[in-house]
């Protein structure tokens, strides 16, 4: 997963690889102005939701934001109100999976 924000807008790229080897690539463009970390969390949520829609029970996520990964793992705290809300959404949605790596 990769999410970023520039003056031209916020975008994200997702690649979902199923255990059988099928690969699904998705490009997202957000219709709202977002900071980089907001775009990152939106991307993470989209990846989690897409994996759930595919029926995944186990999730292995690779993400370009060390900050977001560390917050999801509980190694770093989210301090900003918006980031706390995003982190809460991610953790809630991750409960749908048996394991996350």
Which residue range forms the structural domain that includes residue 66? Answer: 2-100
Neighbours of 97 (CB within 10 A): 16
SS3 52: helix
d(CA 99, CA 42) in angstroms, rounded, equals: 21
Q: At 22, which CATH number? A: 3.30.420.10
Q: Are 100 and 61 in contact (CB under 8 A)?
A: yes
Domain count, the chain: 1
- pLDDT interval class at 60 (50, 70, 90): confident
- Number of helical H runs and strand E runs in the chain: 3, 5
pLDDT band of 30, cuts 50, 70, 90: confident
User: pTM of this prediction?
Assistant: 0.83
């Amino acid at each position: 997963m990769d999410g970023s924000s520039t003056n031209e807008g916020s975008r994200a790229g997702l690649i979902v690889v199923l255990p059988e080897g099928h690969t699904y690539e998705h490009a997202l463009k957000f219709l709202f102005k977002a900071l980089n970390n907001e775009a990152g969390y939106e991307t993470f949520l989209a990846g989690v939701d897409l994996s759930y829609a595919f029926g995944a029970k186990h999730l292995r996520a690779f993400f370009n934001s060390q900050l977001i990964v560390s917050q999801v793992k509980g190694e770093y705290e989210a301090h900003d109100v918006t980031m706390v809300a995003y982190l809460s959404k991610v953790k809630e949605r991750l409960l749908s999976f048996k394991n996350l790596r």
